[in-house]
């Protein structure tokens, strides 16, 4: 009976460990070809708003009131940062268009976000390939 109890205990511990990791995920900044744009009217005119699919049904969002960018194929990735503000954590991925105007895509409310991989220096990723700016979140 003692051997059976040990096997059952080991199985339970393994299952609990796996369940703890089931709620964690890994993702990266959106590739430039995954970003779409639309024009949104505001009280002061039109702005360009950007979206991209995010992990777990979430959505990356961004906007640029200074841009009239219409060719997203010309946007290049510049890096990313993990930031916290007023109790919320978010990941901001930075891009530049042909006119060197900045655009950021943000994934908000990420809990326990941690950078993954050698591309990160602290909470900043300076890699120019968005697939290398991966992070782990819950």
Q: What is the pLDDT of residues 81-96, one digit of tens each?
A: 999 887 788 999 999 8
Whole-number Å distance between alpha carbons of 96 and 104? 9
Q: What is the pLDDT of residues 41-80, one digit of tens each?
A: 888 888 888 899 998 889 999 987 666 665 666 788 999 9
Residue 53: helix, strand or coil by DSSP? strand
How far, in Å, are 22, 23, 29, 70, 118 from residue 9 at the CA level?
20, 22, 40, 59, 37
Boundaries of every domain in the chain = 24-137
How far, in Å, are 30, 104, 125 from residue 67 at the CA level?
19, 12, 24
């Amino acid at each position: 009976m003692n051997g059976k109890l040990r096997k059952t205990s080991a199985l339970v511990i393994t299952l609990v460990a796996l369940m703890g990791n089931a709620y964690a995920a890994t993702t990266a900044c959106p590739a430039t070809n995954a970003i779409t744009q639309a024009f949104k009217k505001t009280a002061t005119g039109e702005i360009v708003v950007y979206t991209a699919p995010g992990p777990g049904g979430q959505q990356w969002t961004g906007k640029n009131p200074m841009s009239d960018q219409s060719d997203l194929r010309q946007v290049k990735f510049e890096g990313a940062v993990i930031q916290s503000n007023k109790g919320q954590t978010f990941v901001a991925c930075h891009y530049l268009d042909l006119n060197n105007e900045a655009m950021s895509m943000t994934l908000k409310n990420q809990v326990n976000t941690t950078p993954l991989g050698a591309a990160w220096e602290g909470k900043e990723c300076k890699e120019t390939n968005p697939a290398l700016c991966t992070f782990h979140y819950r």
